Amino acid sequence: MTVQAALQQACRLLEEAGIAAPRLAAEVLLSHSLGRDRVWLYAHPEAELNDQEWAQFAHSLSQRVGGKPTQYIIGRQEFYGREFVVTPDVLIPRPETEHVVEAVMALPQAPQRIVDIGCGSGSIAVTLQLELGSEVWGTDVSVAALRVAAENARRLGARIHLVACDLGSALAEGAFDLVVSNPPYVSEQERPGLQREVRDWEPACALFAGPTGMEFYQRLIEEAGRLLSAGGRLIMELGYRSLEPVRAMLGRRWDQINVIPDLAGIPRVLSARLLCG
């Protein structure tokens, strides 16, 4: 079977299964199966797949039809211009989370010591270390997730410190000038309505915060207040309609509260400074 015929057949299969962007998914999966880039597919539509390549492609298609996200099938996802390893042990990095990095980059003075709470794949922690050269720590309750983060740090040449703990419980008080996080913020009530690729495949501990979706924010804000030195900053991603509840949680210990919208105009990132005393 040729590349062109394989793509046509895959597109029909994926479309019938209700997979979003079937042509793109087919191209990405075929490129992965052949060990080529997508440009090569367009340049060689007449190339013949051998038996091993076709078997690999068919297996990948079967996984995608079954709901497994493309990123987990190919084992990678781009974030802030770099390719990260991803497995079902970690949340797939989203473009919206790049706003967290951009908020840090926009600070008037680069932070010297940063901790990423719930670092997952390490996408934020690794990116900030490489972009700023700061001392960066990452924590997560999942040892499996930390293994993925360590692999990404190794592959991309980032020097980060990884610790298995709840929030920053293993770290010293007042030791950091920046806390960043993309926390769990989906409520349990929203679980049935999520896409199956998210609900059935991504790690629940990285998605669901509790009955309301606000539970992790309260703990994160309290822990950031412990970990930060006076004048340090907390920068975190916001969930849909979470801005006002989160703002209320900050209380009087925080000022310089800034909110950054995503490209759709939805509040996506909140930045706040810890007051002295």
User: Phi and psi of 49, rounded to 5°?
Assistant: -85, 135
Q: Encode 178-208: b = buried (16+ Cβ within 10 Å), e = exposed.
A: bbbbbbbbbbeeeeeeeeebebebbbeebbb
Q: Are residues 117 and 7 in the same domain?
A: no
Q: Are residues 92 and 40 in the same domain?
A: no
End-to-end CA distance of the chain: 70
Residue 37 counted as domain residue: yes
Q: Are residues 95 and 13 in the same domain?
A: no
**Per-residue confidence (pLDDT) for residue 253, from 0 to 100:** 94
Residue 162 counted as domain residue: yes
Q: Are residues 179 and 62 in the same domain?
A: no
**What CATH number is associated with residue 62?**
1.10.8.10
Q: Are residues 101 and 19 in the same domain?
A: no
Task: Quote the number of domains for the chain.
Answer: 2
| Angle at which helices 3-16 and 51-65 cross, to 10° | 20
Q: Are residues 37 and 172 in the same domain?
A: no
Q: Are residues 132 and 215 in the same domain?
A: yes
Q: Are residues 143 and 38 in the same domain?
A: no
User: What is the β-pairing status of strands 267-274 and 228-237?
Assistant: antiparallel
Q: Are residues 122 and 254 in the same domain?
A: yes
**Per-residue confidence (pLDDT) for residue 276, from 0 to 100:** 76
Residue 78 counted as domain residue: no
**What CATH number is associated with residue 223?**
3.40.50.150
Q: Are residues 59 and 92 in the same domain?
A: no
* Alpha helices per DSSP H over the chain: 3-16, 22-34, 38-43, 51-65, 70-74, 98-105, 123-132, 143-156, 196-199, 204-207, 215-227, 243-250
Domain that holds residue 16: 3-66
Q: Output the pTM of the full model.
A: 0.94
Which pLDDT tens digits describe the chain residue by residue (277 residues)?
Answer: 999 999 999 999 999 999 999 999 999 999 999 999 999 999 999 999 999 999 999 999 999 999 999 999 999 999 999 999 999 999 999 999 999 999 999 999 999 999 999 999 999 999 999 999 999 999 999 999 999 999 999 999 999 999 999 999 999 999 999 999 999 999 999 999 999 999 999 999 999 999 999 999 999 999 999 999 999 999 999 998 999 999 999 999 999 999 999 999 999 999 999 997 5
Q: 């015929």: which residue's tokens? A: 5
Query: What's the pLDDT tens digit per position in 26-60?
Result: 999 999 999 999 999 999 999 999 999 999 999 99
Residue 112 counted as domain residue: yes
